[in-house]
């Protein structure tokens, strides 16, 4: 048994199998259970080491060759696998409550496997192709068979696809830079190509217009899943470039660029969130701001920047999951999600509304909630390097907070006097409650993430050292 | 350890009340259970005295390289009187609840006790991080309570506005923290850079629970006297403790005189409005503005003990007045102890209020003394207005015993705190200032029946015919907000419309140009 077989091939096989099933609950249990088991194995069973259980000896090899390419998942990748599949389990168990289990779980498993493969593949440039495959697999996830593709889906596909040639071309140029490091023109060209590739891949301003459009066109839960997984893996892919090329990670220009783009994402996402009049679009702009936080964390010159990057991942995943689930519940029950039609929904759907507001506050870094500890550390880190950046950071946070407060006001301001009710189904109540508890737990005790995060920086040989 | 025991006792009691309410709605001894838990907690707070100063380090936030501080609690000579005052207030509210119309109401008691527990955490917060966390907990709890109580969209809106105002206070606290980090010195309660000190002051001001002035509670006075009193006074205590904690050196700034002027104006305004309020519950926000301004002034003059003395008076004297809902001659007379506690006379609770160690005091003192006199005169006026209250004699025998005990407890504690138990006890204070304020108060009490302008303002539900400047300011702000909203909407439409791709290409060209202009 090899690690790539277990964490790449197996999810693809299970995902393909669940495509044949018709019951939401069965699919949710199989998909969520598989993800949970895979996360558990990554947590317990060491890679490349024999594990003795009585007379039995179990060893998971780190390398496998698939279609002539090497896929390597070394022991240092195990914590990342725990997080990815653990979060997937959360998303998949919640998919039934959101009413999208039949589409999300099969395709979600395949997309996850492809993105894990993008981390494992050697030569690492093939990652761009695997990410592109994952993007193409995402199209049927976003688009039910009876629905015509909207502008958001098309732009998503176009922009993500455009990233691939730039990245491949950058990889080719970077090989040249390695050979002749003094060639300034080549260095500039390769940096430009790499930058353009990631501008498309991470949906940097203003290439993120597909995100709000997609949120309106497709299931919020399915889009939320992609908005969590794609930027996370794309960022790790980007970090592998920084780790590999010393001139890139030590370049003040690159770090300044990361910081500038991070701020642009945070401020534009925050500002636009403050003025949205639709609940789905608000979530879209918040997700955009989340990417800004990731880029800002990477731009820090301190040794803790990598710790900070990984500290952002779990709260981000949980926050988006809770937000997307709550939004799906409200959309399913209420239909339209414009502010005008969402007025007073908190009286009928208090748990979904509370989850929505808490997830939004968490993203804005409100204390007690999951997003607070990483944002606090990030803000302090930025302030330590530049007070101006810290002030702009505040502007972005204020935008997000304004969006959250506006949403709260809309949800609680009923048009006429109505009594409180609890109209969510039992499964929705259960999943939303788990999510809300999780938001508070991570906000009060961020150290509980430590066992999963402490060895993650070892994934990179040079970065953060 | 005692800190934790007190807090846990309160939360366990609140949880037990909730569980009882769900599992055994007919349980008859809920009040007794609530009172027992609260009194036990009160006793344990009293026992803190044996271990002062003491602190508890909660599990540290990890990784340590990212978090300069971790949550912790500590009790000292300033935190203890606040904690004791809050525990006393909670016990008094439960004791006096026996005569309210909604008795028994275990759900409300559970909330009141939880608020007290959070309040104890706030006043014992060892660093700004802990304070931010506790403030957030208090805000969320208050938001839920207010939304549950609101009946129409207007009151819900005000609840959200109150929440956002306080959230802004938290942001200011965190900004102070960031500024400390920028100066290479994380902000804590022993040191802070000057800019951070002023931000902490602003954070405390925003969080006093004063804005918006009329919070959305139901009109039933039972809720207003119990829950609202607990929530608003706890919110005030959780902010005022920060004023007492701000390092004096960090408040030395060129804008300090300006802040003193603002405090003086706010104190006079609050005191004046409090004195002329139609009743004590309507005047509650002004009571808080007035006394909080005096506390702020003490902080600006580098007198943390004075700050704490005004803060504790706000809770104990105010608490005694706000929970009094029945008429009884001796109790009305006993409320004069509250006026004495506010007088800053030697050995009173606020005796340390006018002690200062900074120059420039004389210029501002008359304004603050005037405000103090307004507050005291208002206190006496509201305490001596028994005609609007039902008599105690109509209550059941046990309630006749329990209700005065609640009021008496609050009065007794403010009397005792004047003599012993904390840093500001047994103080002689500034005798001339105290005498001046007291004489002015007597003068105001003499003049009130004789001059109409000193009498209560018309009820606040009468809409003013002229739009105030503040309303105009809010309207202008709203217009700007909508303009900004339209601008972002237009940009979104352009980028998401048919021409969006062209704009994107243009952006890409700029992006490439930007990169190629600089060396990597």
Hey, where are the domains in chain B? 1-253, 257-460, 477-517
Closest CA to A296 of A260, A320, A271: A260
| Sign of the alpha-carbon dihedral angle for A178, A172, A230, A281 | positive
Identify the closest residue of chain A to B146 by CA–CA distance.
A412
Residue environment code for B273-310, b if the CB has 16+ CB neighbours within 10 A, otherwise e: bbbbbbebbbbbbbbbbbbbbbbbbbbbbbbbbbbbbb
**Would an 8 Å CB–CB cutoff place B175 in contact with chain A?**
yes
Contact B61 A383 (CB under 8 A): no
Indicate the pLDDT class of residue A451, thresholds 50, 70 and 90.
Answer: confident
* Model confidence at A197: pLDDT above 50: yes
> What's the pLDDT tens digit per position in A361-414?
999 999 999 999 999 999 999 998 889 999 999 999 999 999 999 999 999 987
Alpha helices in B150-228 (DSSP H): 153-182, 194-206, 221-223
Are A135 and A115 spatial neighbours (Cβ–Cβ below 8 Å)? no
Contact A272 B492 (CB under 8 A): yes
Residues in contact with A374: Cβ distance below 8 Å, sequence separation at least 6, in sequence order: A293, A297, A308, A311, A312, A315, A446
B158 CB neighbours in chain A (<8 A) are: none
Identify the closest residue of chain A to B187 by CA–CA distance.
A380
Residue A107 CA, chain-centre distance (Å), reads 16
Q: How many angstroms separate the CA of residue A146 from the nearest CA in chain B?
A: 24
Q: How far is B303 from B300, CA to CA, in rounded Å?
A: 7
Q: Which residue has the tokens 């909660």?
A: B58
**Would an 8 Å CB–CB cutoff place B65 in contact with chain A?**
yes
Closest CA to A229 of A291, A152, A297: A291
* Model confidence at B3: pLDDT above 70: yes
Q: Which helix (H) or strand (E) holds B47?
A: helix B30-47
Indicate the pLDDT class of residue B397, thresholds 50, 70 and 90.
Answer: confident
Contact B129 A308 (CB under 8 A): no
Tell me what pLDDT residue B354 has: 85
Rounded mean pLDDT of A236-257?
Answer: 86
Tell me what pLDDT residue B26 has: 83
Rounded mean pLDDT of A113-137?
Answer: 91
Q: What's the token pair of residue A73?
A: 């998942």
For residue B115, with 0-12 CB atoms within 10 Å meaning exposed, 13-18 middle and 19 or more buried, which class applies?
A: buried
Rounded mean pLDDT of B278-298?
Answer: 89
> What's the pLDDT tens digit per position in B462-486?
444 555 666 677 778 888 888 888 8
What's the number of CA atoms in the CB half-sphere (13 Å) around residue B226? 29
For B341-398, the DSSP string reads HHS--TTSTTGGGG---SS-HHHHHHHHHHHHHHHHHHHHHHHT-GGGSEEGGGS-HH
Distances in whole angstroms, Cα of residue B203 to Cα of each of A231, A266, B166, B181, B271: 36, 24, 8, 18, 22
> What's the pLDDT tens digit per position in B206-254?
887 665 555 555 555 556 788 889 999 999 999 999 988 888 877 777 8
Lowest mean pLDDT across A113-122, A253-262, A274-283, A297-306: A297-306
A195 CB neighbours in chain B (<8 A) are: 511, 515
Tell me what pLDDT residue A43 has: 92
- Across the A:B interface, residue pairs with CB atoms under 8 Å apart total 158
Indicate the pLDDT class of residue B455, thresholds 50, 70 and 90.
Answer: confident
Tell me what pLDDT residue B175 has: 93
Mean pLDDT of chain B: 85
Tell me what pLDDT residue B188 has: 79
Q: How many angstroms separate the CA of residue A295 from the nearest CA in chain B?
A: 17
Q: Which residue has the tokens 């009187």?
A: B81
Q: What's the token pair of residue A358?
A: 């808490």
Residue environment code for B483-498, b if the CB has 16+ CB neighbours within 10 A, otherwise e: eebeebeeebeebbee
- The B residues from 67 to 86 touching A (CB cutoff 8 Å) are 67-68
Tell me what pLDDT residue A357 has: 96
Out of A207, A308, A368, the one facing B137 most closely (by C-beta) is A368
Q: Which residue has the higher pLDDT, A465 or A12?
A: A12
Q: How many angstroms separate the CA of residue B138 from the nearest CA in chain A?
A: 11
For residue B503, with 0-12 CB atoms within 10 Å meaning exposed, 13-18 middle and 19 or more buried, which class applies?
A: middle
Tell me what pLDDT residue B198 has: 86
Q: Where are the beta strands (DSSP E) in B393-472?
A: none
* Model confidence at B498: pLDDT above 90: no
**Would an 8 Å CB–CB cutoff place B178 in contact with chain A?**
yes
Q: What is the pTM of this model?
A: 0.92
Q: What's the token pair of residue A257?
A: 């660029």
Q: How many angstroms separate the CA of residue A411 from the nearest CA in chain B?
A: 10
> What's the pLDDT tens digit per position in B419-433?
888 888 888 888 888
Contact B163 A408 (CB under 8 A): yes
* Model confidence at A176: pLDDT above 90: no
The residues pairing with A69 across neighbouring beta strands, listed in sequence order, are A66
Tell me what pLDDT residue B461 has: 46
Q: How far is B293 from A207, CA to CA, in rounded Å?
A: 50
Q: How far is A152 from B361, CA to CA, in rounded Å?
A: 65
What proportion of chain B, given as a percentage, has pLDDT over 70?
91
Q: How far is A41 from A44, CA to CA, in rounded Å?
A: 5
Q: How far is A106 from A92, CA to CA, in rounded Å?
A: 10
* A203 conformational bin, left if phi > 0, alpha if psi -120 to 50, beta if neither: left
* Model confidence at B362: pLDDT above 70: no
Contact A195 B511 (CB under 8 A): yes
| Sign of the alpha-carbon dihedral angle for B3, B6, B11, B16 | positive
Mean pLDDT of chain A: 91
- The A residues from 253 to 312 touching B (CB cutoff 8 Å) are 253-254, 257, 271-272, 275, 303-304, 307-308, 311
* Model confidence at B460: pLDDT above 70: no
Distances in whole angstroms, Cα of residue A82 to Cα of each of A86, A151, A447, A451: 6, 35, 17, 11
* A174 conformational bin, left if phi > 0, alpha if psi -120 to 50, beta if neither: alpha
Residues in contact with A120: Cβ distance below 8 Å, sequence separation at least 6, in sequence order: A3, A4, A8, A71, A72, A73, A77
Out of B66, B485, B504, the one facing A308 most closely (by C-beta) is B66
Rounded mean pLDDT of B86-112?
Answer: 90
Rounded mean pLDDT of B47-64?
Answer: 88
């Amino acid at each position: 048994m090899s690690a790539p077989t277990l964490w790449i091939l197996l999810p693809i096989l299970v995902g393909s199998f669940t495509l044949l099933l018709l019951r939401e609950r069965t699919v949710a249990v199989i998909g969520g259970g598989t993800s949970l088991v895979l996360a558990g194995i990554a947590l317990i069973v060491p890679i490349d080491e024999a594990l003795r259980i009585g007379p039995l000896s179990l060893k998971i090899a780190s390398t496998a060759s698939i279609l002539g390419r090497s896929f390597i998942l070394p022991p240092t990748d195990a914590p990342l696998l725990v997080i990815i599949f653990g979060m997937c389990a959360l998303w998949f168990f919640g998919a039934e409550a959101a009413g999208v289990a039949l589409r999300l779980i099969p395709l979600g498993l395949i997309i996850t496997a492809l993105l894990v493969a993008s981390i494992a593949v050697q030569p690492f440039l093939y990652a761009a192709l695997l990410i592109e495959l994952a993007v193409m697999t995402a199209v049927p996830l976003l688009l039910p068979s009876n629905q015509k593709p909207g502008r958001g889906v098309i732009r998503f596909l176009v922009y993500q696809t455009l990233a691939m040639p730039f990245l491949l071309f950058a990889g080719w140029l970077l090989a040249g830079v390695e050979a002749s490091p003094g060639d300034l023109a080549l260095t500039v060209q390769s940096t430009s190509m790499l930058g353009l590739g990631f501008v498309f891949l991470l949906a940097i301003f203003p290439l993120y217009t597909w995100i709000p459009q997609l949120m309106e066109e497709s299931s919020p839960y399915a889009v939320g899943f992609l908005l969590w997984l794609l930027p996370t893996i794309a960022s790790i892919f980007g970090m592998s470039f920084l780790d590999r090329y010393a001139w890139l990670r030590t370049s003040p220009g690159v770090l300044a660029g990361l910081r500038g783009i991070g701020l642009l994402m945070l401020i534009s996402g925050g500002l636009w969130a403050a003025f949205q009049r639709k609940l789905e679009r608000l979530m879209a702009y918040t997700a955009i701001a989340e990417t800004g936080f990731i880029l800002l964390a990477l731009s820090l010159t301190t040794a803790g920047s990598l710790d900070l990057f990984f500290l952002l991942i779990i709260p981000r995943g949980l926050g988006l999951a809770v937000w997307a689930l709550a939004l799906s519940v409200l959309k399913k029950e209420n239909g339209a999600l414009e502010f005008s039609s969402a007025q007073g929904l908190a009286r009928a759907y208090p748990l979904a509304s509370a989850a929505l507001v808490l997830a939004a506050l968490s993203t804005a870094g409100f204390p007690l909630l999951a997003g607070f500890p990483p944002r606090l550390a990030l803000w302090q880190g930025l302030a330590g390097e530049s007070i101006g950046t810290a002030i702009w950071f505040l502007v972005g946070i204020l935008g997000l907070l304004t969006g959250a407060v506006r949403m709260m006001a809309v949800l609680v301001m009923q048009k006429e006097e109505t009594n409180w009710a609890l109209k969510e189904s039992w499964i929705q109540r259960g999943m939303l409650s788990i999510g809300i508890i999780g938001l508070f737990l991570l906000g009060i005790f961020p150290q509980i993430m430590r066992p999963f995060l402490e060895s993650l920086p070892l994934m990179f040989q040079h970065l953060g050292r | 350890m005692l800190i934790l025991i007190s807090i846990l006792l309160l939360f366990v009691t609140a949880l037990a009340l909730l569980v009882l309410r769900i599992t055994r709605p007919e349980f008859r001894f809920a009040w007794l259970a609530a009172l027992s838990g609260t009194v036990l907690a009160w006793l344990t707070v009293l026992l803190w005295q044996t271990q002062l100063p003491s602190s508890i380090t909660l599990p540290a936030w990890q990784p340590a390289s990212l978090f300069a501080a971790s949550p912790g609690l500590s009790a000292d000579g300033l935190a203890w009187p606040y904690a004791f005052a809050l525990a006393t207030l909670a016990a008094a509210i439960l004791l006096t609840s026996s005569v309210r119309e909604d008795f028994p109401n275990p759900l409300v008691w559970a909330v009141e006790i939880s608020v007290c527990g959070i309040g104890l955490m706030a006043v014992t917060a060892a660093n700004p991080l802990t304070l931010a966390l506790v403030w957030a907990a208090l805000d969320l709890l208050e938001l839920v309570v207010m939304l549950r109580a609101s009946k129409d969209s207007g009151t819900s809106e005000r609840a959200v506005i109150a929440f956002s105002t306080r959230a802004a206070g938290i942001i200011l606290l965190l900004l102070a923290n960031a500024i400390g980090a920028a100066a290479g010195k994380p902000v804590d309660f022993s040191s802070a850079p000057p800019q951070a000190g002023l931000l902490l002051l602003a954070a405390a001001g925003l969080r006093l629970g004063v804005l918006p002035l009329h919070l959305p509670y139901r009109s039933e006075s039972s809720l207003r006297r119990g829950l609202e009193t607990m929530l608003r006074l706890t919110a005030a205590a959780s902010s005022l403790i920060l004023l007492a904690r701000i390092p004096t050196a960090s408040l030395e700034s060129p804008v300090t005189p300006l802040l003193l002027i603002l405090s003086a104006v706010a104190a006079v305004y609050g005191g004046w409005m409090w004195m002329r309020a139609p009743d004590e519950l309507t005047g509650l926000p002004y009571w808080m503005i007035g006394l909080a301004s005096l506390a702020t002034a003490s902080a600006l003059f580098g007198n943390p003990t004075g700050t704490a003395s005004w803060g504790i008076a706000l809770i104990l004297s105010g608490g005694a007045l706000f929970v009094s809902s029945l008429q009884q001659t001796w109790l009305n007379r006993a409320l004069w102890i509250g006026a004495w506690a506010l007088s800053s006379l030697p050995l009173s609770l606020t005796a340390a209020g006018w002690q200062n160690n900074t120059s420039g005091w004389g210029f501002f003192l008359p304004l603050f003394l005037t405000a103090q006199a307004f507050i005291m005169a208002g206190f006496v006026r509201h305490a001596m207005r028994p005609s609007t209250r039902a008599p105690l004699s109509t209550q059941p025998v046990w309630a006749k015993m329990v209700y005065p005990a609640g009021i008496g407890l609050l009065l007794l504690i403010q009397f005792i705190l004047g003599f012993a138990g904390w840093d500001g006890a047994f103080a002689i204070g500034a005798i001339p200032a105290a005498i001046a304020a007291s004489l002015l108060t007597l003068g105001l009490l003499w003049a009130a029946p004789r001059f109409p302008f000193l009498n209560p303002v018309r009820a606040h539900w009468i809409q003013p015919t002229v739009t105030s400047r503040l309303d105009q300011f809010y309207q202008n702000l709203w217009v700007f907000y909508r303009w900004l909203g339209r601008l972002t909407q237009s940009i979104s439409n352009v980028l998401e419309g048919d021409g969006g791709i062209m704009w994107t290409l243009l952006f890409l060209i700029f992006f490439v140009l930007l990169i190629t202009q600089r060396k990597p």
